[in-house]
Amino acid sequence: MKKLQAAMDFLAGWPMTLVGGVFLLASFVLGLLEVSLPVDPAWATVLVSGLPLVYLAVRRLVCNRGISKISSALLISVAMVAAVAIGDLFAAGEVAFIMALGALLEDMTTNRARKGLHKLISLAPTQGRRLRDGREETVPAAEIRPGDILRVLPGEAIPVDGVIAAGETSVDQSVMTGESLPVDKSVGDAVYGGTVNRFGTVDVRATRVGEDGSLQKLIRMVREAEEKQAPTARIADRWASWLVPAAMLIAIIAGLVTQNITRAVTVLVVFCPCALVLATPTAIMAAIGQATRQGVIIKSGEALERMGRVDTVAFDKTGTLTYGRLEVSDLEPLAPGLEPMELLRLTAAAEAKSEHPLARAIVSHARAQGLELPESDGFRMSAGRGIEAVVEGRRLLCGSEAFLAGQGVRPGPDAAARLAALREQGKAAVLTAEGGRCLGILALSDVLRPGAGEMVERLHAMHTSTVLLTGDNDRTAACFAGQAGISEVRAGLLPAEKVAAVEELRAAGRTVCMIGDGVNDAPALKAADVGVAMGIMGSDIAVEAADIALMSDDISRIPYLKRLSVATVHTIQLSITLSMCINLAAVTLSVLGLLNPTTGALVHNAGSCFVVLIAALLYDRKF
């Protein structure tokens, strides 16, 4: 059976199908020239393109249940055999070749890349440092048990979910939450397996290990969502349940009434749904080609069709609506006579030896402003909280409000009010102090992509609602949603909660498109009706999990993608309607005896050509 299937797959492949097309063309040309050969070249087409169809029809009759036994392959096989029986080999070869070609075109557009899960699995740490009886031992992650104390050094991944038992640090947990900022952690704070310890050494008490861990759940969600993606049945097969009986009935009636077997065979030939089969794949191929020229990679025709029905677009924030990088947004001197650039210069000089992302952003901004930064002395860092350094003889403290409070520095009412306002805007703040007084505040923020607001407006104009799903806190989420014009916001979401939010939207009857860029977005991209990944800057795992990838950071492509998808669906509907009208007219002419199998094959082949032409117009259409 496997060898037979392999042989049919070989015959149905591109090389042999093209060979069949060449022989069919030769048969047509020889017929026009009235040249006869001992063996009609169309026999080669019948064997090459027809045998796989007959095999498929028989296999479905034997293996499928109920109405699914009846398929377009069955109708084509009957028509082909009938045409051979009356000696019209060209008609038999023509319907077989067109159907084989349509199947190949459809396969080209619906084969989806199913890679990248191994990349997600590779994020899971394979070992950890376990503390036992005062000694440190390296053990495989599989041997870690709840309650074990694990030491995690700066730069290492945290092996399992747990709670910090000793030490302070900042943790990059973007793999789980997508947050652009490392999160400061101290004793009692929860941490996730697979996230990265950025600075201080910490001891972590394991709480969830193995398959119960957050990263393993993330992997499992991607795998389960992948398995739920059932392939869409070919439209011709969905219609075959009534096309086949109708064709058979009309052919039998025509043969009995006219007492002419040729008319019956002609009905079967013209009733073959070749144009119907080509309608979807040709339009989708044209749309995919159109999208590729615009920097949008569409992995399947099924996704393109679903995108045309989308009425809700859900956005991740970091790396999607925003650039995912921090920039200094505000300079707020608090000391009398202190200029903003001087505040920036002093703070950047003090932070120059720090590796914290906030410090790097401040230093980068100062250098971009052309400031000369003096060398600092006596640099000391409190991991995840702040730094101390001497700049030009001045002992400076830079860090969080809590860090300064621990050093005896209390910001005044003006500073407290300004800090509260900055938090409401979703910004991170670094305070600079000297000698027990606060010199000023530097605020940093992610940056909204240009055109994000206009993009949201265009979606709303197409009657498509928008939702923000993010792992950031409520204030940050509300701030960026307000700037972009998104009214519905769900913040503080972990990957599983993003999936739950998407599923809740779908349960409410919405067709959801999820747009994201990070590993943490992968399950939600799979759970949505359509997943769109920001391809260039997005993680490989998000790109592989998505149905569509934007190969640039131009988020304005989303409304274009929506318009293209709607146009594609309308083109498919038009092509199907046209093909059915041509079939109806051809059947009528066949019953009246105005068409024979050969001319009938040419007429219904003309319908296929019209379908391809309509698809070509879609490819060149300006959106």
d(CA 376, CA 489): 44
List the one residue out of 105, 59, 97, 62 whose CA is nearest residue 80.
97
Contacts of 421 (CB under 8 A, 6+ apart): none
What does the DSSP assignment read for 342-386?
HHHHHHHHHHTT---HHHHHHHHHHHHTTPPPPPEEEEEEETTTE
The H or E element that residue 172 is part of is strand 169-172
Q: Residues 301, 109: contact at Cβ < 8 Å? A: yes
d(CA 363, CA 382): 18
Exposure string for 272-281, b = 16+ CB within 10 A, e = fewer: bbbbbbbbbb
DSSP state, 318? I
Burial class (CB in 10 A: 0-12, 13-18, 19+), 145: exposed
d(CA 177, CA 440): 31
What is the three-class DSSP state of 433?
strand
Count each helix (H run) and each strand (E run) in the chain, helices first. 24, 22
Find the largest Cα–Cα distance for the chain: 111
Work out the end-to-end distance of the chain between its first and last CA atoms, rounded to an integer number of angstroms.
Answer: 49
Q: What are phi and psi of 503, to 5 degrees?
A: -65, -35
d(CA 497, CA 55): 47
**Options 316, 446, 547, 553, the catalytic residue:** 316
Q: Residues 74, 267: contact at Cβ < 8 Å? A: no
In this structure, what is the dihedral angle of CA atoms 191, 192, 196, 198, given to the nearest 10 degrees?
-10
Query: Which amino acid is it at 231?
Result: P
What is the three-class DSSP state of 490?
strand
* Helix orientation angle between 89-110 and 14-32, rounded to the nearest 10 degrees: 150
List the one residue out of 530, 515, 535, 402 whose CA is nearest residue 469.
515
d(CA 356, CA 385): 10
Q: Residues 78, 58: contact at Cβ < 8 Å? A: no
Whether 184 is catalytic is no
d(CA 190, CA 299): 38
d(CA 126, CA 143): 10
d(CA 221, CA 78): 45
Distances (CA, A) of 409 to 191, 412, 432, 433, 589: 30, 9, 10, 7, 94
* Unique residue bearing structure tokens 């989708």: 284
Report how far Cα 490 is from the mean position of its chain's Cα atoms: 20
Catalytic residues: 316
